[in-house]
Structure 1
Amino acid sequence: MKKKDIEILRVTHLHGPNIWTYRPCIEAWVDIGALEDFPSDLIPGLYERLTALLPSLIEHRCGVGERGGFLQRLREGTYAAHILEHVTLELQNLAGMRTGFGKARETSVRGVYKVAFRTREEQVGRAALAAARDLLMALIEERFFDLPATLVTLRDLVDRRCLGPSTAHIVDAATVRQIPAIRLTDGNLVQLGFGAHQRRIWTAETDQTGAVAESISRDKDLTKSLLSACGVPVPEGRMVTNAEEAWDAAEDIGVPVAVKPYDGNHGRGVSLDLSSKAEIVAAYHLAHRKGGGSVIVEQFVPGNEHRLLVVGDRVVAAAAGEAAWVTGDGTANIIELVDQQINSDPRRGLGEEFPLNTVSPQIAAEIILELERQGLTAYDVLEAGRKALIQRNGNVAFDVTDNVHPEVAAMAVLATRIVGLDVAGIDLVTQDISRPLSQQRGAIIEVNAGPGLLSHLKPASGSPRAVGAAIVDHLFAPHESGRLPIIGVAGSRGTTLIARLVAWLIQIDGKHVGLACSDGLYLDSRQIAPARTPDWESGQRLLINRSVEAAVFENSAHMILSEGLAYDKCEVGVVTDIDGHTALGEFYIDAPDQMFSVLRTQVDVILPSGTAILNAAEPQVVEMASLCDGKVIFYGLDGRLDPIVSHRAVGDRVIFLRDGNVVLAEGAEELTLMTLSSLKANKAAQPESILAAVAAAWALGVSPDLLAAGLTTFELNPRKTHY
């Protein structure tokens, strides 16, 4: 006898478009046991316990289509698998990885369900599923569940496994423009676009960011020298190797000065407005300790620090810093005042979701040194009304993009070009960003490669800036999508031959073609992997190859069910038939009609500019025509098939045989391509496959002359074929 339990039988990560959704998701098979007889309305108190623990479930619309829809279903009575789906999604959301799509469907086995849910990272999705199962069972059995501890674990996993917020923002901007993305590592290296049309980003660095330019930007002394030579205002300064040299440099330059690490970042080890030898010596030791090497002493520039983000030839965002002060009350020490007057700001915190950092005056060496200059320590009590400076120019996170003077923006762009970067963070100090630098002794302090984007995405005040879109627009012209012609072939009849022949026809049209099929993985005429069942990994190998200008994929129903398609969209999709359900019992595919839902995936991903190639002799394949966002070409051995006749009647394209001849037709116009009898007998023996392949190449614009030449020169034996 089954007990009330939820057993996870199998978990599959579907990397690409699948029977559930266009995007990657996880499909879990779960057995809910005796809970099949106990929907939620028959489990006393479950609604109250679940909504108390996860009140944000009210945002789930579910099939009802409105806020609170899932809670309505929960109150009325729904099954454990459906609840598991929503709890899994919400745990991902609470962990900081926003998702929304999910479905739960019965199988032919009582109590066994398929639960599918969107996830942006496989390991996070699997962990959320396991946690959701434990949470739901705890509530059903009226046991305690430690949600805060679970979320800490999931958030840590999100931080370690997911794209960083800056990279994710760029990828999201690419998605808006329908530009596909492939994550190339567990880190933030991402490919935008496919094959020969791809570009790469690594957070805010791109494949246009030169190594020489990046090296120059790291050499602060060289950068300043180049900028100064080209007329960009920079503070006078020099590199020093010991404290005595630091004081000598300060005397030569003239106090006040700034002291900072030669190879520092994020303001660590930087001390400003220094005048006495004691201050400069102490600042030198701090900078040396923080930077681990040489130290720069340079002229102090009065004003606030600003960060301007330059992308290509324009400033797309600007942020300003501000000083942090506390005011004494006669009773609290500086640590307590900082907590009361600075750290209490809800915008401050330790995570990336906070635009401002918390301040630790008893720990941060820069703050300790600043307090010492005022004759204070973090443990001193400030008399009522006295102000103490805690941090100069901390947190450059206050948006001032709309205030930047055109001359300031032009100077930032010039500095970027001088160094040679395509994306740069320009650090400058000025008292008023809305006035030219020359009017106020403003200067550019640093030029940074790979700049952080968070201060522009989540400013402490002001409007967030679409910096990700700016970077994508810099990499891709308005008319570019990063895509290449992709042809997918699905079904069970002659799909390998179709894929190989399509690849050959495209190659003789002058493109470098990648092919993934059962005969192997090919780049033009070179086989780079032996014969194997087509899989997602083989397809990815084609899409990351910079030499590929077009790609052809053979896709089986098994691959769609177990991995998903290797691409998100395609230009041409071929469906030959919906046979083969008897070989898919392991997926609970038990009837021919279910194959329609599997193989329609190939048609669902066709671009609006693309074409579906459908077998006119298969009624259920013909039904897929209505699912295609692009055009349709029907093929068949008999031009009198109803779908072919009706398609021609409205002026659309078809291909068929008449008296042994291959006929291309568009409406009433016809072109006899060639006779099959002119081909070798082993080629002519598979006429349906030949028609499908010719239709696919025709849809891509291959001329009739080349189609005929390709059919004549194609070899059935892959060892002889010249692709």
Structure 2
Amino acid sequence: MNHKTIKLLRLSYLRGPNLWTYRPAMEALIDIGDLEDCPSNTLPGFYERLTAWLPGLVEHHCGVGERGGFLLRLREGTWPGHIMEHVALELQNLAGMQTGFGKARSTEVRGVYKVVIRTRQEEVGCQALLDARDLVMAAIEDTPFDVAAAVRGLKALIDRHALGPSTASIVDAASQRQIPAIRLTTGNLVQLGYGSKQRRIWTAETDKTSAIAESISRDKDLTKRLLAACGVPIPQGQVVTSPAEAWEVAQDIGLPVVVKPSDANHGRGVSLDLSTQAAVEAAYALADAEGSDVIVERFIPGQEHRLLVVGNRVVAAARGEQACITGDGRSTVMALIEAQINTDPRRGEEEEYPLDTIRLPENSLVMLELSRQGLTPDSVPAAGQVVLVQRTGVMTHDITDEVHPEVAEMAALAARVVGLDIAGIDLVATDIAQPLEAQGGAIVEVNAGPGLLMHLKPAVGQPRPVGEAIVEHLFGPRDNGRIPVVGITGTQGTTPVALLLGAVMHRAGLATGVACSDGLYVQMQRIDCSQPSDWEAGQRTLMNRCVDAAVLENSPRSILDDGLSYDRCQVGVVTDVPLPSGLQDHHILDRDQMRTVLRTQVDVVLPQGCAVLNADDAVCAGLAELCDGDVIFYSQADRHDLQAAHCDAGRRFLLVQQAQVVLWRNHTATPLLDLTHPAVADLLQHHLPLSALLAAVGAALALDLPPPLVRAGVETAAPFFAHA
């Protein structure tokens, strides 16, 4: 039966490096049916409808390599799978998740294609492909499609599932330094680095952030007492327990005053510049609803500032802005807020906006501010009357370069006194470019887990690299958070290779994690034999803070289903590249396609790393040209055709000569292992083939383990195979 439609046969999320890209991606298997006979240049009006809906497609270079390249392909004629790829990428870009990589490839089945797009979030990539299919079909059939609604839906998914902008800035900064990241929850808890070298962040808190310090920062009264004891200027204040006491203390301190909760953040429940009993008592109710205690303190005249301290230095600073409206004699306060404040493109409901939309009557602080001026949301201010709507909690202007060195030093001292490694220091000063004491300025709060968005996207001024500052705080200049990772793939002997290499590394004193088809091992003790997926097993190993090195087995199917569980590796082992078997559902049918799958392991070897390849398999040996690092060949023969050229290049070659494993380098032979040694002979007879032994020895040498230690590790490895 004829059908002109696009069927989605399968959607898969590739969570790590895969045969398409180093990054996570969505792969769709689609069937375009009779549309195989309908390239884009044969569909009347298709080009015009598609480009009218998505004018940004002009920026897609496609294979042409220049602006407008994809549109050229559209005019010349291309197929729906390729078009879906570009539409899905553009929809993600419009939603604020910038991506550029995509592929569309035909299979051996007529009309069936693989469409792949880079995505930073599974739910977003999946929906983008679904929307792309519907949009392309609407353009083909000349039916309506609501692009704006699709983009709103993707934005909602980003807001719900993706890392927040503060956390994302830190992860991106780590990525720039080649520091790997693992998201530990669906929220913002992220691991940077692997195994014992890892650090953890939770938005702007780190595993260096003291729980005691965080508790101190939540207690504003205790914080002030500690700061005052260390000579940090603070406003005079006192904890109160009732509206009447709040007014009494306000008079003792001297009006005007500030009323705020003792343990709230982000300006919630904070009322400033209060001079009347009614205002103080109303502010008490607002503060009491937010925190356990209420503080009344002296009002410091000046402007609000937020200084971000990371690792005992100020890395960014922002100044607050008051939000005001001007009456026209006709419009209500509510209407003026909508017209003069909420239309600001910097304001919005989502976290990505530096300023919040003001909603009445939900915003109790704004309602209190209006009541102090004798106004309600329905009042009509006179023409030219300026009405203060919001006086606190709106940090908009970057002023990092204006901060006086003494002010920066005082802010860093405040963070140290509380004990926070990352802190948001709130201070009030008339002029941030002058010392605080001379102008009567003061530090009013020290906050743990400070928001970073005001510094990443200031409404006015220059964005600051606060993510980079936090990464520098966590990792030294030469520290990339990596442990030695060995990845092993192929179809022959990969599990014995993993176990033997783990035994050798254990003998070398490394706390080694091994994830293979036989289970999960830590220090060669099996801790789980449930056989989770290769990806899950690898992730669990890399999340273990006890692990100093990792050996991870990856089957061809796991690479196709999930991708690799690590971004890069120190050593990549490929045991063979055979004809594929059992991979028909992925349309992997010949040896060239199998090579494309298994080359993934070689592609991720670090430039300072090494690939270990079976020279007895010509296709496997051919992967050497793809490696960014060094290459060690191994062969069961006593000589090999590739040996001379490989050794001429200063590289290593393992051969079996006169019952010895011999290392050739620079045409010099070094015997490594006697295969007639009883322990080695027993290992070969009962536990693993010779090719697996050679691969494990090659990987150990690639890790720069000394040959005597490698020999000792192999000769004592048999007990670790007892329950394998």
Q: State the secondary structure of the residue aligned to 2:266.
A: coil
Query: Residues 304 and 321 of structure 1 are in contact (CA less than 8 Å); yes or no, is this contact kept in structure 2?
Result: yes
Query: Residues 304 and 393 of structure 1 are in contact (CA less than 8 Å); yes or no, is this contact kept in structure 2?
Result: no
Picking from 698, 712, 717, the partner of 1:714 is 717
Q: Which residue in 1 is equivalent to 2:108?
A: 108
CA distance in 2, matches of 1:273, 1:435: 23
- How far apart are 1:129 and its partner, in Å? 1.4
CA distance in 2, matches of 1:28, 1:364: 45
Q: Which residue in 1 is equivalent to 2:98?
A: 98
1:158 equivalent to 2:161? Answer: no
Deviation readout 1:414-439 (Å, 9 max, x if unpaired):
01011111101011111111101001
- How far apart are 1:639 and its partner, in Å? 4.4
Deviation readout 1:281-327 (Å, 9 max, x if unpaired):
122123223x1542110000001111110000110000000223333
1:46 equivalent to 2:49? Answer: no
- How far apart are 1:47 and its partner, in Å? 0.7
Query: Residues 499 and 720 of structure 2 are in contact (CA less than 8 Å); yes or no, is this contact kept in structure 1?
Result: no
Query: Residues 506 and 524 of structure 2 are in contact (CA less than 8 Å); yes or no, is this contact kept in structure 1?
Result: no
1:577 equivalent to 2:580? Answer: no
- How far apart are 1:717 and its partner, in Å? 6.2
Deviation readout 1:454-495 (Å, 9 max, x if unpaired):
000000100000000000110000100111101111111211
Q: Which residue in 2 is equivalent to 1:368?
A: 367
CA distance in 2, matches of 1:198, 1:60: 37
Q: Which residue in 2 is equivalent to 1:689?
A: 692
Query: Residues 506 and 697 of structure 1 are in contact (CA less than 8 Å); yes or no, is this contact kept in structure 2?
Result: yes
Bigger drift between 148-157 and 441-450 goes to: 148-157
Deviation readout 1:174-203 (Å, 9 max, x if unpaired):
000000000011100000000000000010
Counterpart mapping for 1:197-276 below 5 A: 197-276=197-276
Amino acid at match of 2:642: P
CA distance in 2, matches of 1:272, 1:588: 67
Q: Which residue in 1 is equivalent to 2:538?
A: 539
Query: Residues 49 and 139 of structure 1 are in contact (CA less than 8 Å); yes or no, is this contact kept in structure 2?
Result: yes
Q: Which residue in 2 is equivalent to 1:564?
A: 563
- How far apart are 1:336 and its partner, in Å? 3.6
Q: Which residue in 2 is equivalent to 1:167?
A: 167
Q: Which residue in 2 is equivalent to 1:619?
A: 618
Counterpart mapping for 1:293-308 below 5 A: 293-308=292-307
Q: Which residue in 2 is equivalent to 1:549?
A: 548
- How far apart are 1:442 and its partner, in Å? 0.6
Q: State the secondary structure of the residue aligned to 2:260.
A: strand
1:461 equivalent to 2:460? Answer: yes
1:605 equivalent to 2:608? Answer: no
- How far apart are 1:357 and its partner, in Å? 2.5
Query: Residues 579 and 590 of structure 2 are in contact (CA less than 8 Å); yes or no, is this contact kept in structure 1?
Result: no
Counterpart mapping for 1:172-571 below 5 A: 172-289=172-289, 291=290, 293-360=292-359, 363-530=362-529, 532=531, 535-571=534-570
- How far apart are 1:102 and its partner, in Å? 0.7
CA distance in 1, matches of 2:536, 2:327: 63
Q: State the secondary structure of the residue aligned to 1:642.
A: coil
Q: State the secondary structure of the residue aligned to 1:5.
A: coil
For these two proteins, the number of residue pairs brought into alignment is: 720
Q: Closer, same or farther in 2 for the Cα pair 1:304/1:9, shift >3 Å?
A: same
Q: Closer, same or farther in 2 for the Cα pair 1:11/1:326, shift >3 Å?
A: closer
Bigger drift between 135-144 and 511-520 goes to: 135-144
Query: Residues 164 and 351 of structure 2 are in contact (CA less than 8 Å); yes or no, is this contact kept in structure 1?
Result: no
Query: Residues 324 and 394 of structure 1 are in contact (CA less than 8 Å); yes or no, is this contact kept in structure 2?
Result: no
Deviation readout 1:245-299 (Å, 9 max, x if unpaired):
001111121111111122323222222111222221122123223x154211000
Q: Closer, same or farther in 2 for the Cα pair 1:120/1:143, shift >3 Å?
A: same
Q: Which residue in 2 is equivalent to 1:655?
A: 654
Bigger drift between 475-484 and 122-131 goes to: 122-131
Bigger drift between 636-645 and 449-458 goes to: 636-645
Bigger drift between 460-469 and 591-600 goes to: 591-600
Deviation readout 1:614-634 (Å, 9 max, x if unpaired):
111222112111110000111
Query: Residues 622 and 643 of structure 1 are in contact (CA less than 8 Å); yes or no, is this contact kept in structure 2?
Result: no
Q: Closer, same or farther in 2 for the Cα pair 1:559/1:284, shift >3 Å?
A: same
1:669 equivalent to 2:693? Answer: no
Bigger drift between 359-368 and 434-443 goes to: 359-368
CA distance in 1, matches of 2:539, 2:693: 27
- How far apart are 1:383 and its partner, in Å? 3.1
Query: Residues 4 and 32 of structure 2 are in contact (CA less than 8 Å); yes or no, is this contact kept in structure 1?
Result: yes
**Structure 1 unmatched runs, 5+:** none
Q: State the secondary structure of the residue aligned to 1:646.
A: helix
CA distance in 1, matches of 2:117, 2:377: 51
Give TM-score scaled by structure 2 length. Answer: 0.97
Query: Residues 307 and 396 of structure 1 are in contact (CA less than 8 Å); yes or no, is this contact kept in structure 2?
Result: yes
Bigger drift between 580-589 and 252-261 goes to: 580-589
CA distance in 2, matches of 1:679, 1:100: 57
Q: Closer, same or farther in 2 for the Cα pair 1:363/1:597, shift >3 Å?
A: closer
Amino acid at match of 1:322: E
CA distance in 1, matches of 2:719, 2:293: 67
CA distance in 2, matches of 1:558, 1:246: 68
Q: State the secondary structure of the residue aligned to 1:201.
A: strand
Bigger drift between 235-244 and 354-363 goes to: 354-363
Picking from 680, 689, 708, the partner of 1:705 is 708
Q: Closer, same or farther in 2 for the Cα pair 1:124/1:344, shift >3 Å?
A: closer
Amino acid at match of 1:692: A
Bigger drift between 589-598 and 391-400 goes to: 391-400
Bigger drift between 280-289 and 249-258 goes to: 280-289
Q: Which residue in 2 is equivalent to 1:140?
A: 140
Identity of paired residues, percent? 58
Query: Residues 639 and 655 of structure 2 are in contact (CA less than 8 Å); yes or no, is this contact kept in structure 1?
Result: no
CA distance in 1, matches of 2:249, 2:530: 69
Amino acid at match of 1:50: L
The CA RMSD over aligned residues, in Å, is 1.7
Give TM-score scaled by structure 1 length. Answer: 0.97
- How far apart are 1:694 and its partner, in Å? 0.7
- How far apart are 1:363 and its partner, in Å? 4.9
Q: Which residue in 2 is equivalent to 1:65?
A: 65
Deviation readout 1:575-625 (Å, 9 max, x if unpaired):
111014133222111111211111111100000010011111222112111
- How far apart are 1:361 and its partner, in Å? 6.1
Query: Residues 333 and 381 of structure 2 are in contact (CA less than 8 Å); yes or no, is this contact kept in structure 1?
Result: yes
Amino acid at match of 2:583: L
CA distance in 1, matches of 2:517, 2:269: 59
CA distance in 2, matches of 1:652, 1:70: 44
Q: State the secondary structure of the residue aligned to 1:316.
A: strand
Query: Residues 498 and 514 of structure 2 are in contact (CA less than 8 Å); yes or no, is this contact kept in structure 1?
Result: yes
Amino acid at match of 1:553: L
1:5 equivalent to 2:8? Answer: no
Query: Residues 683 and 716 of structure 1 are in contact (CA less than 8 Å); yes or no, is this contact kept in structure 2?
Result: no
Bigger drift between 566-575 and 519-528 goes to: 519-528
Deviation readout 1:88-136 (Å, 9 max, x if unpaired):
1122222222221110101111110111111111122112211211221
CA distance in 1, matches of 2:678, 2:10: 49
CA distance in 2, matches of 1:285, 1:321: 25
Deviation readout 1:19-75 (Å, 9 max, x if unpaired):
101111111110100000101111111111111111111121111111221111111
- How far apart are 1:682 and its partner, in Å? 4.1
CA distance in 2, matches of 1:593, 1:117: 23
